[in-house]
Structure 1
Amino acid sequence: MSNQPGPQQGGHRPPANTDELTTPLPNDLSRGWLPEDTRQNPMSPLPAPKLFGFQTLLPFKFIKALRHPGELPWLIAAYSITLVAYIGVAVYFVTSFIPDLQAIDVDSETGSASNIGLMLQLALLAVYLPLLLFFARAVMYAQIRLTGVRITPTQFPEAYQMVVEAARAAGLRRVPDAYIQLGNGQINAFASGHGHRRFIVIYSDLFEIGGAPRNPNALRFIIGHEVGHIAAGHTSYFRLIFTSLFSQLPYAGAILSRTQEYTADNFGYRYCPQGSREVIGVLAAGKYLMNEVNFDEYANRAVYEGGFFTWFANLGASHPSNTWRAHALRDRSEPGRIIWRPKSNPPYPLSMVPAAEPAETWADPMQATDYMSIYPENPENQHFGIARVESKVPASQRDRRVADMLDTEWVPPYLREQRAREYPGQQGQGGPDQQVDNR
């Protein structure tokens, strides 16, 4: 058997037929036996993910344009407070803890046991917090890999296509890992990471909105939003360390979180702007009533729903209120509001007095009855949700077979073992300039 040239860097060689599932790759002269063979590593023309720095290759100015203008100031405040806290613990340790230990050595009855206990707790927290965060993220990722359904080119390929498109729009170095997790009725998705890896998790209920008969643009926007968290650095391990203390402060951590959500919305809007209205319907009314939400009427309420308690309720929320979020997605001329509600709306007629107005100005039952009789709704236009069940053949029977892997040169371990058994005399042999004949 003579040498054959391998695939070009970054290229992908489609197989001629499904028989190649069990045949060695053209440049794999070791026949899959050597797991350390560097020629079996997937190659990409894009640089590898970095431990320090962004996961995206977009220019910094471009990322800054997508980032909410309030995010960096609050992030700097979080880093500053964390740094001051660490310095304060170190100074207190030197000035109080060490003298207390010396006092115990001289006279055990004069030592301050309460100060020593407090300092031991602070010291352990400062030392072990990074390790605890690292361990917690690793365990969470492991649990998702063990229980979630991985989104792949052959497992929910439509969703995988969305993840790929969103990653490309965000300029990511690699396509993030993606999983479906049982939602139990919850509408949610999140992004996280472990080491160099980044991944997103989508709750299963969101997939009831993603098909062509429903509203795929809403799912596209949600995926773009989660990929935006990765591109903006929100899932970074070091960022989590330096904001964990700040996030415990009342309202301060919530404000930083809201700025990050607006930033992720900007990434989602860049990938799929047509899904910005639909996603509000999903978040506000759920998977069955999402298409029944009047987006403009809903967004206008961000201006009309005033008062101290609405302001206070938003102040401690980790996510922007849905009405404020809808207003920001509609009006792209200014960033989303963080603390104070929007002040203006485009011309749009109101059908009801805003709820923030005094109750004496609300319609009474007779007025409301007369109004509805003047403007009757079309009987065929029902706004009640209808749950439809579609019976389909199991995916294993209808999905296409793919006789190749997305990674260009990676060989599974079971094939390496198989080749080692079939060709025991070739252990450790083979190279780019050798000819191998195993007949």
Structure 2
Amino acid sequence: MSETPYGIEPPQQQTAQHPGTPLPHDLSRGWLPEDTRQRPISPLPEPKLFGFQSLLPFRFLNAIRHPAEVPLVAMAYALTFMVYIGGAIFLTVQFMRFILEPDFFWTPSNLVLQLIVIALYLPIIVFFVRAMNYAQMRIQGVRMSPTQFPEGYQMVVEAAHAAGLRRVPDAYVVAGNGVINAFASGHGHRRFIVIYSDLFEIGGEARNPEALRFIIGHEVGHIAAGHVSYFRLIFTSFFTQIPFLGTLLSRTQEYTADNFGYRFCPEGAETTTSVLAAGKYLMNDVNFHELANRAVYERGFFTWLANLNTTHPPVTWRAHALRDRTKPGRLVWRPKNNPVYPLSAVPAAEPAAVWPDPLQASDFMLTYPEREDNQHWGSVQTVYREPAQYRDRAVGDMLYAGWVPPQFRGDMPGSLGDPVRGAATPAGTESQADPEASSSDAPQRPAPETPDEPGNSEGTTGPQNPA
């Protein structure tokens, strides 16, 4: 057995793939830090400190972005420059007064002093926090690699290739303890993503690997779009502290990352929003279309205010944006249009007087019974199940309370209070007069859109002019 830095001869099947004399940068024996030959040369350029990690053309990157992201980033940069330039002028004036006026003594207020300290130490604080965050992952997280969570690592590699990254980002799995979350960050030239274990569990064959692919594509998209750049974080820090404007910028970045995720794995878009809404066990019991439709119907001042105060778009709005790829995701005002899809319950935004009473609800459930083999109990499933919208029965009528969707109100005979069953039946759906049709099998799953289809523009919201 020949000598190696570790005293162990590597398996012969690994070197057999490289017959003849080993190449100068051969890695067939694994990565050996003591071996000076282990310096593989990549045909791709090295990561840049000033510039994007992605090699995709800038115009193409902007086509994937949400159209409001670049204007908001420009505002953030302008505000930061104003803060630093204004602060420098203010300190210079005070210093000159101290020199020229012997009796001048300046005592800054607490607010001014805090702003000065933050402005001076912000680059150091950001650098230190990012370094510590990455260090925590390196010493505590489970690193994804070709031999550890290889299926997930393969997704990271493919997502990095699709996003045009110069290098494959580091990837870690950490204990979620019931939390559904993932994030991307960086330190120096390095970039990494973190997947909470509860979210990683959806990737098994028994659940939905497409959803995990979409989520990984989403996080890699944050890296490709420059959202985790050190300088971007510095120059947007003051802007993110402004109420509503800071969260507005954050929501545009999430929509941009969703566009990257959709471009990488469009078939995972539906289940991703479902797992974010209901968790890893109930995700396939969520009807994606009902979830997306509620973005239009759930109106009101407090729902509008709740959206303004969130760093991520509401899950109903994200579902609506991922379903309708002709328009960018909405930021402030809710979407206005839904495709023709039968509703079964009156939206919560309607007055409580038109909500169904227990007798109406009981009658409705008896009229449209669920199939015995299609239960929704939230039990842990060990075999894959189709998402709810592809296996649930279709109902031909709403749980009647005299409410008609806005897009059908002009075509309906009588008034909204006309107590005629079936009045709210959208065109093209089953009629209540045919109970067999109403309890028929769910429609077939449509073929997923691919990035190459006309009008889809690589899974983006269409080419946008950020200027």
TM-score category (smaller protein) = 0.7 to 0.9
1:356-415 per-residue CA deviation (whole Å, 9 max, x = no partner) reads: 11111111111111111111112221111222689xxxxxxxxxxxxxxxxxxxxxxxxx
Out of 158, 164, 172, the position equivalent to 1:165 is 158
State yes or no: 1:140 paired with 2:133.
yes
Q: Is the 8 A contact 2:198 2:280 kept in 1?
A: yes
Among candidates 84, 87, 90, match of residue 85 of structure 2: 87
Determine the structure 2 residue equivalent to 1:55. 53
SS of structure 2 residue aligned to 1:40: coil
SS at match of 1:190: strand
Partner residue of 1:112? 106
Which residue matches 2:24? Answer: 27
| CA displacement 1:339-358 (0-9 Å, x = unmatched) | 01000000011111111111
Structure 1: segments with no counterpart, 5+ residues: 1-13, 391-439
SS for the counterpart of 1:191 is: strand
Alignment counterpart, residue 17 of structure 1, candidates 13, 17, 27: 13
The residue aligned with 1:421 is none
Matched, 1:73 2:75: no
Contact 1:78–1:246 at 8 Å: present in 2 too?
Answer: yes
Q: 1:186 aligns with which of 179, 183, 188?
A: 179
Match of 1:416 in 2: none
Pick aligned residue for 2:293 from 292, 300, 311:
300
Q: Could you tell me how far apart the structure 1 residues matched to 2:239 and 2:309 are? A: 14
RMSD of aligned C-alpha atoms?
2.5
Over residues 281-333 of structure 1, what are the superposed CA-to-partner deviations in whole Å (9 max), with x where a residue is unaligned? 10000000000000011100000001111111001110000000000000000
Q: CA deviation at 1:40?
A: 2.7
Structure 2: give runs of 5+ residues left out of the alignment: 1-9, 384-467
Q: TM-score, normalised by structure 2?
A: 0.74
| Contact 2:25/2:40 (8 A) holds in 1 | no
Provide closer, same or farther for how the CA distance between residues 372 and 121 of structure 1 changes in structure 2, counting only shifts above 3 A.
Answer: closer
Q: CA deviation at 1:69?
A: 0.2
1:13-412 equivalence runs, <5 A: 16-17=12-13, 27=24, 37=36, 39-100=37-98, 106-107=102-103, 111-115=105-109, 120-387=113-380
Q: C-alpha separation between the residues in 1 aligned to 2:224 and 2:119? A: 28
More displaced 10-residue stretch of structure 1: 123-132 or 212-221: 123-132
Give the SS at the match of 2:280: helix
Change (3 A) 1:350 1:121: closer
Alpha-carbon offset, residue 233 of structure 1: 0.4
- Shift in alpha-carbon separation, 1:164–1:28, aligned structure 2, 3 A: closer
Pair 1:143–1:360, CA change in 2 (3 A): same
Structure 1 residues 39-69: Cα deviation after superposition (integer angstroms, max 9, x where no partner) = 4312110111111111111111211110000
Give 2:263's aligned amino acid: R
SS at match of 2:270: helix
Query: What letter corresponds to residue 107 of structure 2 in structure 1?
Result: A
Q: Is the 8 A contact 1:54 1:233 kept in 2?
A: yes
The offset of 1:94, in angstroms, is 1.7
Alpha-carbon separation, structure 2, partners of 1:166 and 1:114: 51
Q: Distance in 2 between matches of 1:277 and 1:233?
A: 26
8 Å CA contact retained: 1:101, 1:111: no
Flag the 1:260–1:34 CA change in 2: closer, same or farther, 3 A. Answer: closer
- With over 3 angstroms needed to count, the CA separation of the structure-2 counterparts of 1:322 and 1:120, relative to structure 1, is closer
For 2:152 and 2:382, the matched residues in 1 are separated by 20
In 2: Cα distance, 1:118 partner to 1:305 partner: 41
- Distance in 2 between residues matched to 1:336 and 1:33, nearest whole Å: 47
1:202 is paired with a residue of what secondary structure? strand
C-alpha separation between the residues in 2 aligned to 1:197 and 1:16? 33
Which amino acid counterpart does residue 368 of structure 1 have in structure 2?
A
Q: How many residues align?
A: 368
Would the aligned equivalents of 2:181 and 2:195 in 1 still touch at CA under 8 Å? yes
Q: Which has the higher contact order (CA 8 A, sep 6+)?
A: 1
Q: CA deviation at 1:121?
A: 4.0
Distance 1:44 1:358 in 2: 63
SS at match of 1:226: helix
Per the alignment, residue 397 of structure 1 pairs with none
User: 1:127 is aligned with what amino acid?
Assistant: L
Deviations for 1:52-110, whole angstroms, at most 9, x for unmatched residues? 1111111112111100001001111111111111111111112235425765xx34xx6
Question: Which residue identity lines up with residue 219 of structure 1 in the other structure?
Answer: L
Greater helix content: 1
SS in 1 for 2:242: coil
Shift of 1:15: 7.4
The percent of aligned pairs where both chains have the same amino acid is 64
Matched letter for residue 24 of structure 2: N
